[in-house]
Chains A and B, each alone.
Chain A
Amino acid sequence: MKIVVLGAGQVGTTIVEALQSDHEITVVDLDAKRLQALSYRHDVHTVAGNGATRRILLEAGIDRASLMIACTSRDEINLVAAFLVKKISEAQTIVRTTNPEYIEAWQERDIEVDFMVSSELETAYAVSQTIGVPAAKQTDVFADGQVQIVEFDVPREGSADDLTGIPLTEAAEKAAGRVRGGGYDQVVGLPLKRATIPADSKVASIIRGERTLVPRGDESIMPGDRIVVIGSPDAAKEWGRIMARGTQRVDDVVIFGAGGTGLAIARVLLEQGIRVRLIEYDEERAREVADELPGARVYAATGVDPDFLERERIGHASAAVFAMRADSKNLYAAMLAKVHGIGFTIGIVHDDISIEVFERAGIDVAVNPRSVTAEEIVRFAHDPRVRQLAMLEGDRFEILDITVRDSSKLVRRPFKELPMTGSLIGAIVRDGEVIFPHGDSQLEPGDRAIIFTESSRVPEVEKAL
């Protein structure tokens, strides 16, 4: 497949690295030196010039390309390029943006591009997943956050009385119409059909030692297992509560730096009902952010002033995110915050090497917005029909996001009649609404199905749908 990439920055480079082996790639950038450096390292064709012009796009061979990825740091360049491509080529378009309003317009189909990614938003989701569900090991988000996939390590100590022996199907019926699940004891150790699992959620797989199971109703979650759950954000939170077993939920987060990323993180966390405090060095910007976010408390302060940290009891917060512009500042502020007693720290890094530095220094999680963005774009590029594709537990499991074809044999048949294939339909997105299916639910043509399956069965599933 021929792919044109606009922008040879960090995001562009990461994308090139991921895709170059399987695809024919042309990179367009204004900066000829950057292009040169890139072409020495990777086997790509380069064009120097403004990607938002028809001449340069044609020079890059857009008329023969099947995908255009516009990932320069400037939104409007990316958009103009995408609009041009829509007219002069058949290629699909992916646009990177920093503006949540563009994303909104795209979701409502007012901006005609095939896929839109925002570094800020992706980073915010990544941070919120780590914060919102503290016990979660690895999480993924589908259908714009309405479907979450969360992985938990089931704590070992715990009486396994009530949960063993409840079949899955029964559990699902019990769970219907109820968001709250039972306590830890009503979930762990019981067969799933009798366990009180939160509504709108499914146990997608149980990983026990070397074995991975797509669980049937008579399977039980045992202490020490690692489980993968698919469900609504509420259900995911509920699972977090169950698995956290009384360890305090994160409900009070301090964000250092109120740039685009900090703002996006604050917004996502506020939506989850978490108390957010923002610390911003620049007074003008602090004021702007305070205007925009009625729910957050904004402070105009450096964040490295010990008096301030002490006076505002920053150490009492359950987590802190460091989203300032410079990695070195983030690192120092995070260390200082740790000194003041913050337990959980998340650093936003802009340089790949910083990830290692941060982790060595004891920052709990480091998130690189550009690689998060690149990953998101690569997922789409892999197969545009499979909108997002997550890999769990190495290569053994995959989560597929597939649009159901008219001709699929599985359409309009109740789920309980579908053949058991070792796969599980975790959620259906129909007209923008998410459905967490029960035994009587049916697939309709055009539905997006989020499917949990063993890697070896991916072709089989794709064919069936």
Chain B
Amino acid sequence: MTSPVGRLRRVVGVDVGAALNLVGALLKYFSLAFLFPIAIALGHAETPWPFVVGGAITAGVGLGLERFSHGKEHVGVREGFLVVSLTWLLAAGAVSLPYVLSGESQLDHPVDALFEAMSGMTTSGGSILTDFAAVDRSMMIWRQFSQWIGGMGIVVLALAVLPRLRVGGRQLMEHETPGPDLDPLTTSIRDTARRLWILYVSLTVVLALVLAAFGWTGVDERMGVYEAVSYAFSTLPTGGFAPDPRSVEPFAAASQWVIALFMVIGGINFALLFRAIVRRHPGSIFRDDELRLYLALLAVASAVVTVLIWDAGLQEGEAAVRHAVFQTVSIMTTTGFATTDYAVWQAVAPAAAMLLVALMFAGASAGSTSGSVKVARHLVIGRILRRELDQTVHPEYVAPIRLNRYPIDERMVSAVIAFVLLYIGIFVVGAVLLLLDAHRVSLELSPFEALAASASSLGNVGPAFGFAGPMGSFAPFSDVSKGIMIVLMWIGRLEIVPVAALLTRAYWRA
């Protein structure tokens, strides 16, 4: 007689215990993040208890998981999918705990709290807050900090964990470049992750210092140390949370330009950045196919948006250029900041609004902190299309798809196609569900706004259009809709495949 559990264990081919064991360990370490807001709260004479309790619960759950399961060293390729998916879900849950415990009426509803937390961890940037002044500073910093950790997380995960999952993030990021000169970061994954960490921290510090200096020198009178740090925390991870309800609008033009620049930097492949800055090969960076297309797309889209909004009479001169560049950069790097309420473009300059939604599908570079499809995949898709057309005329023609002159594996090629198809499919389903749910609760949501909200959530951009625009809030959405968007943000950040794989029978079968 076999027990049901024993039978299940024989049928299931995934070592769930080992996966939970590792998730527990990760969660345990994650609870250390709560120390930062506790310090801020104490410094500002605010209540640290939401963070203390939240941190304790997180640590407890982590320790508990670790205690009641074992074998994290047995986590293999298959368990990795489960580990990544669960870790991100539980980490978002952990981030939401202080919101729930804060007693702040905008945040303490669990769905709202989870939405805000997921939006933070996935560096999306959509918020359910409407009254920013009512929230404690330590709580606002916790929001910003969650984005900073989330941005870090994806890079470290992409480098340290995803390659073991064969998701292709690493392969794409490294562009399949053999040769000693082009592959300097991979003495070991741990080492690579550590170097990228250092780069990430340094860039954040630089931005915070520059912004703070603007404040001290009077270039930007609204920019205090608190603002400088807050914006630095959400700029480099291309997050988009702002401590101000008007996002970056109230700040001086100089600050806006600097933030735009750092968003662009946050959208560059960090391995490439490392080579350019630390190894002093600034020239080599511009030989990269993806970076060139990324910058070219930014330039072209910015120019078009400039013309469109100037023509619509919204802005002119330097302001037109600045607002066009800032909005374009913000959307394409999937940050979600705004210097102007582009939700109003929908009526006045609809082409510009449409272009912004289209850019939500672009994303920045693979291996950066941005979300969405990413330029490298578009590049590969473009080359696949070109080859396909070539082969219809010349059926015998044989050619590899190349990235930076190096051929990429055909398996990789089909993985890219599969990813883009999945991405588009989920985007459409998400938009339809949002529309259906809005209809159910009689919420006024146009199809365009539903498409924008779905694309924005899945691409981890953040704000959408209509009431959920950059200066608006996601609060009017129903709990069901928020749930849908929480899922979209979650799977969008993990690049769909790890989560989608969990839904297949083949994954669980022995």
Stretch at the interface among B161-169, B357-365, B397-405: B397-405
- Decide if B397 touches A294 in the complex (CB within 8 Å): no
- Decide if B398 touches A290 in the complex (CB within 8 Å): yes
For the complex, is A300 an interface residue (Cβ under 8 Å from B)?
yes
Query: Measured between alpha carbons, how far is A63 from B319 in the docked complex, in Å?
Result: 85
Contact bitstring A267-296, B, C-beta under 8 A = 1, else 0: 000000000000110010011001100100
Name A299's contact: one of B394, B400, B402 (CB within 8 Å). B394
- Decide if B402 touches A294 in the complex (CB within 8 Å): yes
Name B396's contact: one of A287, A291, A294, A300 (CB within 8 Å). A300
- Decide if A312 touches B398 in the complex (CB within 8 Å): no
Give residues 214-265 of A contacting B (CB, 8 Å): none
Which residues of A lie under 8 Å from residue B396 when comparing CB positions?
A: 279, 299-301, 308, 312
Which residues of A lie under 8 Å from residue B407 when comparing CB positions?
A: 290-291
- Decide if B394 touches A298 in the complex (CB within 8 Å): no
Report the nearest B residue to A291, measured CB to CB: B407
Interface size on A, residues (CB 8 A): 16
Name B399's contact: one of A298, A308, A312 (CB within 8 Å). A298
Contact bitstring B397-429, A, C-beta under 8 A = 1, else 0: 111101001010000000000000000000000
- Decide if B405 touches A298 in the complex (CB within 8 Å): no
For the complex, is A329 an interface residue (Cβ under 8 Å from B)?
no
Query: Measured between alpha carbons, how far is A297 from B407 in the docked complex, in Å?
Result: 14
Chain A nearest CB from B33 CB (Å) reads 45
Chain B nearest CB from A7 CB (Å) reads 33
Give residues 365-408 of B contacting A (CB, 8 Å): 394, 396-400, 402, 405, 407
Contact bitstring A73-90, B, C-beta under 8 A = 1, else 0: 000000000000000000
- Decide if A300 touches B402 in the complex (CB within 8 Å): no
Query: Measured between alpha carbons, how far is A287 from B398 in the docked complex, in Å?
Result: 6
Which residues of B lie under 8 Å from residue A312 when comparing CB positions?
A: 394, 396
Which residues of B lie under 8 Å from residue A290 when comparing CB positions?
A: 398-400, 407
Report the nearest B residue to A280, measured CB to CB: B398
Query: Measured between alpha carbons, how far is A301 from B405 in the docked complex, in Å?
Result: 25
The count of A-to-B residue pairs whose CB atoms sit within 8 angstroms is 30
Query: Measured between alpha carbons, how far is A198 from B402 in the docked complex, in Å?
Result: 39
Query: Measured between alpha carbons, how far is A283 from B396 in the docked complex, in Å?
Result: 9
Query: Measured between alpha carbons, how far is A461 from B464 in the docked complex, in Å?
Result: 85
Query: Measured between alpha carbons, how far is A301 from B400 in the docked complex, in Å?
Result: 16
Chain B nearest CB from A323 CB (Å) reads 17
Contact bitstring B19-50, A, C-beta under 8 A = 1, else 0: 00000000000000000000000000000000
Chain B nearest CB from A101 CB (Å) reads 14
Contact bitstring A154-177, B, C-beta under 8 A = 1, else 0: 000000000000000000000000
Query: Measured between alpha carbons, how far is A300 from B400 in the docked complex, in Å?
Result: 13
Which residues of B lie under 8 Å from residue A301 when comparing CB positions?
A: 396
- Decide if B402 touches A298 in the complex (CB within 8 Å): no
Chain B nearest CB from A288 CB (Å) reads 10
Query: Measured between alpha carbons, how far is A286 from B402 in the docked complex, in Å?
Result: 16
Chain B nearest CB from A11 CB (Å) reads 32
Report the nearest A residue to B397, measured CB to CB: A299
Report the nearest B residue to A292, measured CB to CB: B407
Chain A CB count within 10 A is highest, among B398, B400, B407, for B398
Chain B nearest CB from A336 CB (Å) reads 16
Which residues of A lie under 8 Å from residue B398 when comparing CB positions?
A: 280, 283, 286-287, 290, 298-300
Query: Measured between alpha carbons, how far is A300 from B394 in the docked complex, in Å?
Result: 10
Contact bitstring A132-144, B, C-beta under 8 A = 1, else 0: 0000000000000
Report the nearest B residue to A296, measured CB to CB: B399
Which residues of B lie under 8 Å from residue A298 when comparing CB positions?
A: 397-399
Query: Measured between alpha carbons, how far is A371 from B397 in the docked complex, in Å?
Result: 34
Chain B nearest CB from A311 CB (Å) reads 8
Chain A nearest CB from B373 CB (Å) reads 26
Query: Measured between alpha carbons, how far is A311 from B396 in the docked complex, in Å?
Result: 10
Query: Measured between alpha carbons, how far is A76 from B492 in the docked complex, in Å?
Result: 52
Chain B nearest CB from A200 CB (Å) reads 31
Contact bitstring A289-330, B, C-beta under 8 A = 1, else 0: 011001001111100000010011000000000000000000
Query: Measured between alpha carbons, how far is A299 from B407 in the docked complex, in Å?
Result: 17
Query: Measured between alpha carbons, how far is A290 from B402 in the docked complex, in Å?
Result: 11
Which residues of B lie under 8 Å from residue A297 when comparing CB positions?
A: 397, 399
- Decide if B405 touches A294 in the complex (CB within 8 Å): yes
Report the nearest A residue to B390, measured CB to CB: A297
Report the nearest A residue to B410, measured CB to CB: A287
Give residues 447-466 of B contacting A (CB, 8 Å): none
Query: Measured between alpha carbons, how far is A308 from B394 in the docked complex, in Å?
Result: 9
Chain A nearest CB from B442 CB (Å) reads 58
Query: Measured between alpha carbons, how far is A88 from B505 in the docked complex, in Å?
Result: 66
Contact bitstring A336-351, B, C-beta under 8 A = 1, else 0: 0000000000000000
* Pairs across A and B, CB under 8 Å, 25 listed: A279-B396, A280-B398, A283-B398, A286-B398, A287-B400, A290-B398, A290-B399, A290-B400, A291-B400, A291-B407, A294-B402, A297-B399, A298-B397, A298-B398, A298-B399, A299-B394, A299-B397, A299-B398, A300-B396, A300-B398, A301-B396, A308-B396, A311-B394, A312-B394, A312-B396
Interface residues of A, Cβ cutoff 8 Å to B: 279-280, 283, 286-287, 290-291, 294, 297-301, 308, 311-312
Q: Can you list the 3 inter-chain pairs with the closest CB atoms, starting with the nearest?
A: A301-B396, A299-B396, A291-B407
Q: A279-B396, A301-B396 provided; 10 other pairs, C-beta below 8 A?
A: A280-B398, A290-B398, A291-B407, A294-B405, A297-B397, A297-B399, A298-B397, A298-B398, A299-B394, A308-B396
Interface residues of B, Cβ cutoff 8 Å to A: 394, 396-400, 402, 405, 407
